[in-house]
């Protein structure tokens, strides 16, 4: 099959590599998706002060630990990029899997937290606050899972020293996923 890379892909009129440019546009489109959801939440939250009664039940400690886990995993993907640029594929491979492990820890903590909430009777249909809580965090968790899958796929290439630039691309995406959480954590957990 004609899978040779087109000339178009190798050009760089803006001076920015095409892959990186595309990832920024992906992030742009993601910002408006999360932005729209959080804007709805914020406007309703400001309208209904009594939502604070619901949010007082969220587990700020678990959220805080998760913030720490996710930020640490961002550090490891940055280091993976550092070694990928130096063509040290084994170190890059290890650090990518450290990032995947970070994502896994995040999901496990989230799973424990959600199980506890549901056992306490706070489900997605309990009230509008909880609907937003599960929808926003769930959408974010889907992005975490997608990022982990992509990293696993990229790590195979990295071992063969192929497509090393993709470590940077997934790194940009992972930082974005991180940043979304930085917005979700205060809005859903800290604001009591």
Partner 1 sequence: MATTHAEHHDHHDHHEMSFWEKYIFPLDHKVIGMQYLFTGILMGVLGAFFSYVFRMQNAFPGIEVPLFGLVTSAQYNSLITNHGTIMIFWFAMPILVAAFGNYLIPLMIGADDMVFPKINRLSYQIFLLSVVVLIGSFFVHNGGFGGAWTAYPPLSAKAEYNLTPWGSILWLVAVVLEFVAFLLGGINFITTLMNSRAKGMKMMDIPIVCWMIVLASILFMASAGPLIAGAAMLLFDQTIGTGFFDPARGGDPILWQHLFWFFGHPEVYVVFLPAMGIVAEVITTFSRKKLFAYKVVLFTTFATGILSFFVWAHHQFIAGIDPRLANIFTVTTLLISIPIAEMLFVYIATLWGGSIELTSAMLFALGFLATFLVGGVTGIFLGASGADIYFHDTYFVLAHFHYTFVPIAVIAVFAGLYYWFPKMFGRFMDETLGKIHFWGTMVGFNGIFMPLFFTGAAGDHRRIFDFSNFPELAVSSLQHLRMVATISVIITILFQFVFFWNFIYSMFRGRKCTENNPWKANTLEWVAACPPPHGNFLVMPEVYRGPYEYSVPGRELDYWPQNEKV
**Do residues 50 and 192 make contact, with C-beta atoms less than 8 angstroms apart?**
no
Exposed / middle / buried, residue 92 (Cβ in 10 Å: 0-12, 13-18, 19+): buried
Closer by beta carbon to partner 1, 125 or else 160: 125
Helices marked H in the chain: 7-10, 18-47, 51-55, 60-85, 89-119, 128-159, 166-184
Q: How many residues bind partner 1 (CB under 8 A)?
A: 40
Q: Rounded CA gap, 130 and 51, in Å?
A: 9
Q: Rounded CA gap, 37 and 14, in Å?
A: 32
Provide the minimum distance between the beta carbon of 64 and partner 1 in the complex, in angstroms, as a whole number.
26
Q: Which stretch binds partner 1 (CB under 8 A): 16-24, 85-93, 149-157, 167-175?
A: 16-24
Question: Which residue in 36, 64, 152, 186 binds partner 1 (CB under 8 A)?
Answer: 36
| Residue reference for tokens 């859903």 | 188
Q: Which stretch binds partner 1 (CB under 8 A): 1-9, 143-151, 158-166, 169-177?
A: 1-9
The contact mask relative to partner 1 for 43-72 (x = CB under 8 A, - = no) is -x---x------------------------
Closer by beta carbon to partner 1, 75 or else 156: 156
Question: Which residue in 18, 60, 74, 163 binds partner 1 (CB under 8 A)?
Answer: 18
Q: Which stretch binds partner 1 (CB under 8 A): 4-12, 77-85, 89-97, 173-181?
A: 4-12
Does residue 131 belong to the site contacting partner 1 (CB under 8 A)? yes
3-state secondary structure at position 191? coil
Residues near 5 by beta carbon (within 8 Å), at least 6 away in sequence: none
Q: Rounded CA gap, 181 and 53, in Å?
A: 22
Closer by beta carbon to partner 1, 22 or else 190: 22
Nearest to 147 by CA among 88, 107, 189, 114: 107
Give contact residues for partner 1 (rule: CB under 8 A).
1-4, 6-14, 16, 18, 21-22, 25-26, 28-37, 39-40, 44, 48, 124-125, 127-128, 131, 135, 139
């Amino acid at each position: 099959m004609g899978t040779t890379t087109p000339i178009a892909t190798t050009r760089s009129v803006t001076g920015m590599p095409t892959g990186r440019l595309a990832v920024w546009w992906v992030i742009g489109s993601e910002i408006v998706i999360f932005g729209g959801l959080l804007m709805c939440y914020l406007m309703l939250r400001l309208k209904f002060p009594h939502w604070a009664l619901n949010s007082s039940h969220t587990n700020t400690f678990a959220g805080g630990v998760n913030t720490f886990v996710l930020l640490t995993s961002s550090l490891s993907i940055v280091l993976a990029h550092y070694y990928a640029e130096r063509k040290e594929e084994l170190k890059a491979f290890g650090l990518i899997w450290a990032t995947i492990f970070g994502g896994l820890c995040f999901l496990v903590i989230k799973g424990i937290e959600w199980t506890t909430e549901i056992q306490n009777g706070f489900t997605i249909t309990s009230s509008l606050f909880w609907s937003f809580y599960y929808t926003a965090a769930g959408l974010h968790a889907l992005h975490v899972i997608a990022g982990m899958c992509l990293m696993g796929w990229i790590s195979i290439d990295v071992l063969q020293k192929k497509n090393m630039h993709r470590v940077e691309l997934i790194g940009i995406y992972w930082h974005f996923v991180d940043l979304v959480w930085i917005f979700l954590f205060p809005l859903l957990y800290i604001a009591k």
